[in-house]
Structure 1
Amino acid sequence: MSLGTVTPILRIFDEAMTREFYVDFLGFKVDWEHRFEGNFPLYMQVSKDGCLLHLSGHFGDCSPGAAIRIATTDVDAYQAELIAKEYKHARPGVEEAPWGGREMSIKDPAGNRLTFYNREPEISA
């Protein structure tokens, strides 16, 4: 028995701001979108490299204000890339975490907190 990857579901409200944040700013791509009918809430998957996120406008799927951690190979390089975009809603900084390592936290338009951190190198057994 083994466990697989985790795909968080984050609550969204404003579809245009959500796309601007995740696609234009963070550099994710939209993999697919779903609506049960034309005027129903959006449910979509976005991805960047090995990171998958589900974003949902449905009331019952999840609560706004979630917090997730996303491993990266170079949080400083990602932060420099984001700052260069001059996004008007966020200018994230990188900080030393009290428990060690470097991380960068950003809130999306629905108040969900995404913390990007440097992944520890894997240790061979």
Structure 2
Amino acid sequence: MQRTIPLLRVFDEAKAYEFYIDWLGFTVDWTHRFEPGTPLYMQITQGTLTLHLTEHHGDCTPGAKVFVACTGLAEFHTELIGKKYKYNRPGLEKAFWNALTMEVNDPFGNKLLFSEALTE
């Protein structure tokens, strides 16, 4: 096995771009449609995290939660809050597993839990 790429169900291309690209800062690697007017399938990346976003109803259901181990979480949080995204203002919390965490909910019912281990 080489790596894991979570698939997340999305329902609205414009909302997906607004949330994942404009707010969270992912980059679109590629997009695919079988033909015009068919569901979108795309790959996005930020750092070493790659996600597949899919409008195909048979790929997965909404409501997934992805755990993202990271560093620099406080700085990332400050960056996100500074963008003043009106649909999400996440907080930072200290988790019981000795980590700083931030959870964001996408417009489709999926969650991303960012976690940075604390060294105290």
Q: How many residues align?
A: 119
Q: Which moved more, 1:63-72 or 1:112-121?
A: 112-121
Q: Which amino acid aligns with 1:45?
A: Q
Q: TM-score if structure 1 supplies the norm length?
A: 0.91
Which one of 83, 86, 92 corresponds to residue 84 of structure 2?
Answer: 86
What is the alpha-carbon distance in structure 1 between the residues aligned to residue 99 and residue 38 of structure 2? Answer: 42
- Go from structure 1 to structure 2 and tell me whether the alpha carbon gap of 1:31 and 1:120 turns closer, same or farther (over 3 Å shift): farther
- Structure 1: runs of 5+ lacking an equivalent: none
AA in 2 matched with 1:10:
L
- The whole-number CA distance in structure 2 between the counterparts of 1:85 and 1:27 is 11
**2 CA distance for matches of 1:118 and 1:65?**
23
The equivalent residue for 2:95 is 97
Large movers: runs of 4+ above 2 Å: none
1:70-95 superposed Cα distances (whole Å, 9 cap, x missing partner)? 11111111100000000000001110
- In the TM superposition, what whole-angstrom CA distance separates every residue of 1:85-107 from its partner, at most 9, and x where no partner exists? 00000001110112221110000
Identity of aligned residues (%): 48
Q: Distance in 2 between matches of 1:114 and 1:87?
A: 16
Q: Distance in 1 between matches of 2:66 and 2:98?
A: 18
Aligned to 2:71: 73
Deviations 1:45-67 (A, max 9, x none): 00011110000000000010100
Q: Is the 8 A contact 2:100 2:118 kept in 1?
A: no
Structure 1 residue 119, shift from structure 2 partner: 4.8
Q: State the Cα distance separating 1:120 from its structure 2 match.
A: 7.0
Change (3 A) 1:102 1:35: same
Q: TM-score, normalised by structure 2?
A: 0.95
Aligned to 1:53: 51
